[in-house]
Amino acid sequence: MSEKLKIAVIGGGSSYTPELIEGIILNHAQLPVSEIWLVDIPAGQHKLEIVGSLAKRMVEKSGLPMTVHLTMNRREALEGAVFVSTQMRVGLLEARIWDETIPLKYGVIGQETTGPGGMMKALRTIPVLLDICKDMEELCPEAWLLNFTNPAGMVTEAINKYSKIKSIGLCNSPTGVYKWLSALFEVPVERIYAEFVGLNHLNWVTKVSVDGDSKLEKLFDLKEGYSAKNVPQSEWNADFIHGLGAIPSYYLKYFYLTQEMLQDQMASSKKEGTRAEVVKRLEDELFELYKDPNLAEKPKQLEKRGGTYYSEAAVNLMKSLYNDSRDIQTLNVANGHTLDFLPHDACIEVNCVVTKQGPIPLPVSYVPVSVKGLIHAVKTYEQLAIEAAVHGDRSLALQALGHHPLVPSVNIADRMLKEMLEQNKAFLPQFAEA
C-alpha cells in the first residue's frame, strides 16, 4: 500500500468538482486521500481557480490531512497518482451545442452521448484521452483511470484497445436506479439486487430483488419510471414494457420513442434552447455561487445539474479498489464472455465484483431476446466510431453513422457528417492530417 494516496482530476475546473471533494472528505476513513490535484487547460483556468478555491475551503473546514493542488501542468498532476479521474469536455459546452443542434436540422435526434452528436463527441474526446493515457503509461503506469467522460462506454473501449492503462468507465445512472429503488421499496440499498444488461446509456434492468424476492412485476405497473434531468419525460407504453420484461434506461427513449423525442427536441430547442444551453445557464449560476468566499460546502443547487451521484459512484469505486472490498458495482468494462454475441473487447455496462486487481464482470442471468439486436446495432456503431476517432477516418465515420439506428438514410448521414466535421474542425486534428 503506497503511503501517499494521490488523486488527479483531469478537468478539475468542472462544476462537478465540489461534489467529488465532498465525497472524498466523507469517506476519508476508508479512502485516506493525501493529495488531490485538480488539473485543467488554459481555457479553463478561470473556472479552475474558482472551483479550486472552494475545494480548498472545503478541505480546510474538514480538518483532514489532505492537500488540494491546482495546476495547468497535467504531467505534474499525474506523476505518482493512484487514481486518475476524468471529467472534462473537449470543445466545452459550445461543442455540445453543435452536437445537439446540427442533427436536428437533418431531422435526426441531437444528443451528446449517442447518435450523430455522440459520435462527434467521441471523435473529439478519444484522442485526448489516449494522450492522457500515454502520459500515464510513463508517469503512473499502475494507476486506475476512472473515466466519466462521455460517451463513457466508447471512450473506455478505446482506451482498453489502444492503451495499457487500466481504465473503468463510470456513469451515475446505475447509482440513480438504486437510489430510486431504495426510496420506492423503503429499504436500504444493500438489501436490493439489480441486474443491468447492455451498454452505457443503453441498458436494461432485467432483475430487481429485495432480500432475494423479485420485484420486477411491481415495477412494470408503475406509471413513472426512474428518469433524469437531462432526458425529458415521455411516458412509456405499458404493454410494451410488460412484453419486454425489463426496465429500460431512460436513454432508451431515444430509441423506443424516437419520433416523440425528436418532436420534443425540436419544440424545446425553440422554446428554451438545447439542453446544452440550459446547462450553460445553470453552470454560470453555479460558478457565481462558488465564488462566495464564505461557501465551504457543496451548494444544494448543484443537484439540478444532472450529474447527481457522479461523485458517489467515483468514491465508491476508489474505495473498493483501494480496500479490495469485493462488493458489486455497475461499471463499464470489457465484455469477456458476458454477452456472447459481442466481441470480448467490447465495452459493456454490467454488474462487477470490485477487487483490488480490478472489476470482474458478473455473468448475466439472461438477456431478453428483444434487446439483443439493438445492443448489437449500437455496439456496431460504437466500434466503427472508435476506429474513426483513432485513425481520423471519414469513411469509417460514415459507416458508423450510416449504421446507427437513429439515422434514417445513408445520404442524410453523409451530408450531416460533412457539416459536423467542418464545424468541429478545430477539435479534430486527426482528420485534418488524413
> Binding string to a second copy for residues 73 to 112, with x set by CB under 8 A, is what?
----------------------------------x-----
How far is it, in rounded angstroms, from Cα 131 to Cα 128? 5
User: Catalytic one among 251, 254, 290, 310?
Assistant: 251
Choosing from 217, 292, 327, 345, the residue that interacts with a second copy (CB under 8 A) is 327
Residue 408 interacting with a second copy (CB under 8 A): yes
**305: Cβ contacts below 8 Å, ≥ 6 apart:** 15, 16, 229, 279, 282, 283, 286
Residue 389 interacting with a second copy (CB under 8 A): no
How far is it, in rounded angstroms, from Cα 247 to Cα 240? 11
Determine what percent of the chain falls in helix, strand and coil, rounding each to the nearest 5.
Answer: 50, 15, 30
**226 a catalytic residue:** no
Residue 421 interacting with a second copy (CB under 8 A): no
Chain-centre distance of CA 312, in angstroms?
13
332 is in an annotated binding site: no
Cross-strand bridge partners of residue 183? none
Residue 186 interacting with a second copy (CB under 8 A): no
Can the peptide bond before residue 18 be classed as cis, meaning omega within 30 degrees of 0?
A: no
C-alpha cell at 257: 420513442
The smaller minimum CB distance to a second copy, of residues 9 and 81, is found at 81
- 236 with 225: CB under 8 angstroms? yes
- Within 344-363, the residues that bind a second copy by CB under 8 A are 353, 355-357, 360-363
Other Cβ atoms less than 10 A from the Cβ of 425: the count is: 11
Residue 403 interacting with a second copy (CB under 8 A): yes
How far is it, in rounded angstroms, from Cα 366 to Cα 43? 47
> Binding string to a second copy for residues 215 to 244, with x set by CB under 8 A, is what?
----------------------x-xx-xxx
Residues of each annotated binding site for Mn(2+)? 171, 201
By CB under 8 A, name the binding residues for a second copy: 1, 107, 191, 193, 209, 211-212, 237, 239-240, 242-244, 256-260, 324, 326-328, 336-338, 340-342, 353, 355-357, 360-363, 369-374, 376-381, 383-384, 395-396, 398-399, 402-403, 405, 408-414
Show which residues are catalytic: 251
Residues of each annotated binding site for substrate? 96, 150
